[in-house]
Chain A
Amino acid sequence: MSEPILSIRDLRARVGGRDVLDGLTLEVGAGEVHAIMGPNGSGKSTLAYVLAGRPGYEVTGGTVSYRGRNLLELEPEERARAGLFLGFQYPVEIPGVNNVYLLKAALNAARKHQGLPEVDAFEFLALVREKMKLMQMDEAFLSRGVNEGFSGGEKKRNEILQMLVLEPTLALLDETDSGLDIDALKVVARGVNTLRSGARAIVLVTHYQRLLDYIVPDHVHVLARGRILRSGNRDLALELEQRGYDWITGAAA
């Protein structure tokens, strides 16, 4: 079996003086889509932030290996350049900075890391336009400030657009479905699905089964009290929708 893209062993992490992850173990192989579900406050977003290296999220134990490297010793920007992408639950606004400018800087940072020259301006625009079309985004988005005045749905689409342009090896999507109506959800799902390939992996963090109708996962995990309490296939998500989380969290107590 080939080496997994992401291998988390017994991960413990603390945020604001509180232990949030408590011995989490998870393995994500190339080509796989994993869904992590769980009740509020179970540590789903914390997991995403810890993997992305957000300051203030302190790792107190365990290991994380990403493509054979110790992920935890990399700076957040190094993780990003190495192909780790986090789609934020609440993308921040950066007034006055063009979307297209940020996107180009991000792509060039990754290219530089790979020893490639800066992207040609025309090729870049062509690439972005193609991806925008897929995401059904208006051209005017490009010249607007990063997420400036965007609706919740627009922000989420913008996250996926960035992901499609950056083509990450590992995409962590933190509640990308929240705040989306059904049409927007389909667009976002289509975007994510185009990224599926044997060389990549996707981890979806979500509350609801609904997203998984459109992005069908290979594995579903229930995260509660800081660790994975149960793993299964797609049927687990359907079962969760019917029965809630209590039967799992309660059974483990």
Chain B
Amino acid sequence: MTETAEIEKLVGRGYKHGFVTDIESDSLPPGLDEDVVRAISRIKGEPAFLTEWRLKAFRHWQTMVEPNWAHLRAHPVDFQSISYYSAPKARADAPKSLEDVDPKLLATYEKLGVPLHERARLAGVAVDAVFDSVSVATTFKGRLEKAGVVFCSFSEAVRKHPALIEKYLGTVVPPADNYFACLNSAVFSDGSFVYIPPGVRCPMELSTYFRINATNTGQFERTLIIAAPGSHVSYLEGCTAPMRDENQLHAAVVELIAEDDAQIKYSTVQNWYPGDENGIGGIYNFVTKRGDCRGRNSKISWTQVETGSAITWKYPSCVLRGEGSIGEFYSVATATNLQQADTGTKMIHIGANTRSTIVSKGISAGRGQNAYRGLVKMLPSAHGARNFTQCDSLLMGPRCGAHTFPYVEVKNPTATVEHEASTSKISEDQLFYCLQRGISEEDAINMIVSGFCKSVFKELPMEFAVEAQNLLAVSLEGAVG
């Protein structure tokens, strides 16, 4: 079979999570103006400061222009055709326990394999499941509360911990930061909130499963994680979305704050619907993720495995403010069929002796286009700061592309920046070697690709490393070098 024909087999693979749950939704009609922003805030019973905060963001957003600098081709988003709020229809009162949750909703999670039930305790995973815009169930609260950890939906945090929200919201990603972050600040519906008190090591991995369900709803989560001095937390988000012909917008904002000696590990497995083989449909994943290493010797580590979405446009970043703080970014991004990925990171070194590591693995197949875009910035105050960047691209087939855009700005002569980059193909030699050992072509490719991604996978929490590997295998099914 020819190389091209092999790759066409990609087309044959179905999107495993492409079902739609039939639940009545409470949605706002499509369209966006100040009244919609107010309505969202009112539905959620927010305090006045937050309503004002949203409105201010919205007014600013109206003055902004959609950016077009990324290495992407996208249909323009019609912001007036999106419904900005969609919640599963509320019962007389909100669910108090899993028994109160709509069984259909639970069945959806079942299909996704989200460990929502008590058995999940065995896996040590606490899930704050976001169904469209509202958190429907949060597990393991008890055990976390005992440790003093707050892990809840963003809306709940607004009600129960307004002071923390007011203090930290928008301090890492200011509303005016960029076009999509600004839109999110105006209309964000829900998301997750985590607070780890001083000196506490979070007793379990925290995990959120995002899922876009209703048609024509953009999803605008807001996640805020605060690690107080000396605390540790590991957080994982997994994302899937049903199959739809139109492009759906996902514009989330994630803010991480690490105080003195605190550590945050944030892992993402993103498997949004990528669109079909002709590039019809699929999620536009325009996300702003940033971590602020505020404290001395703090550490923020981003790990992402991005296999889905029609377009991925995100740069999980670290602001290394605290002296001796550490930022890490480990990424595997795949682009198959007509998928486009423009992803990377920014490491902003402000404090002395700050360190950052960037390991990016891009895999392109079919007609996929994969771009790494990264900024390493050493400010004049960053004495003795160090960065190491490694960007590797793997090409599968003749019609895909890999692009690397590294930006480096060094304003302190004692800072060191190292950059290594490589582009390779799965070689015929490697493939034949595996075949000659009796291993099928499919397995051989998976093996070689997994090997290529190994230095990133090993950063994932163990139970998710396996999932990520499987996901990668599914998304590259039929592709060959």
Task: Give A contacts to B, CB under 8 Å.
Answer: 52-56, 75-77, 80-81, 85-86, 88, 91-92, 94-97, 101-102, 105-106, 109-110, 113, 145-146, 162, 166
Contact = CB atoms under 8 A, between A and B. Distances in A.
Contacts, number: 75
Nearest to B432: A54
Contacts of B453: 96
B42 to A, nearest CB: 53
A97 B448 contact: yes
Interface in B163-214: none
Interface stretch (B88-96, B369-377, B433-441): B433-441
B451 A95 contact: yes
A96 B441 contact: no
Contacts of B22: none
Contacts of B455: 96
21 contacts: A54-B432, A55-B428, A76-B432, A77-B435, A77-B441, A80-B436, A80-B437, A85-B436, A91-B433, A94-B434, A94-B447, A96-B451, A96-B454, A97-B447, A97-B450, A97-B454, A102-B447, A105-B437, A106-B439, A109-B440, A110-B438
Contacts of A145: 451
B451 A77 contact: no
Contacts of B439: 77, 102, 105-106, 109
Nearest to A76: B435
Interface in B449-471: 450-455
A110 B438 CA distance: 6
Contacts of A88: 433, 436
A205 to B, nearest CB: 15
A52 B453 CA distance: 29
Given A94-B430, A109-B439, A146-B451, 17 more contacts: A52-B436, A53-B435, A54-B432, A77-B436, A85-B436, A92-B429, A94-B448, A97-B447, A97-B448, A97-B454, A105-B443, A106-B438, A109-B440, A109-B443, A113-B438, A162-B437, A166-B438
A85 B438 CA distance: 9
A94 B451 contact: yes
Contacts of B451: 94-97, 145-146
Contact of A81 (B430, B438, B441, B447): B438
Contacts of A91: 433
A187 to B, nearest CB: 21
B432 A105 contact: no
Given A77-B441, A95-B452, A101 B435 contact: no
A144 B313 CA distance: 35
A105 B435 CA distance: 11
A94 B433 contact: yes
Nearest to A96: B451
Contacts of B443: 105, 109
A80 B438 contact: yes
B448 A76 contact: no
Interface residues of B, number: 23
A121 to B, nearest CB: 16
B427 interface: yes
A96 B452 contact: yes
A108 to B, nearest CB: 9
Nearest to B433: A92
A53 B432 CA distance: 9
A200 B312 CA distance: 55
Contacts of A146: 433, 451
Nearest to B454: A96
Contacts of A86: 436
Contacts of A97: 447-448, 450-451, 454
> Which 8 residue pairs across A and B have the least CB separation, nearest first?
A96-B451, A96-B454, A97-B451, A106-B437, A80-B438, A109-B438, A76-B435, A92-B429
Contact of B438 (A55, A56, A77, A95): A77
B81 to A, nearest CB: 45
Contacts of A162: 437
B429 to A, nearest CB: 4
Nearest to A106: B437
B15 to A, nearest CB: 27
B430 A92 contact: yes
Nearest to B426: A94
Contact of B447 (A52, A75, A101): A101
B362 to A, nearest CB: 15
Which of A75, A94, A113 has the most chain B CB atoms closer than 10 A to its own CB? Answer: A94
Contacts of B438: 77, 80-81, 106, 109-110, 113, 166
Contacts of B448: 94, 97
A105 B433 contact: no
Interface string B414-431: 000000000000011110
A167 B454 CA distance: 30
Contacts of B430: 92, 94
A162 B455 CA distance: 25
B311 to A, nearest CB: 28
A79 B381 CA distance: 63
A107 to B, nearest CB: 8
A37 B438 CA distance: 27
B69 to A, nearest CB: 33
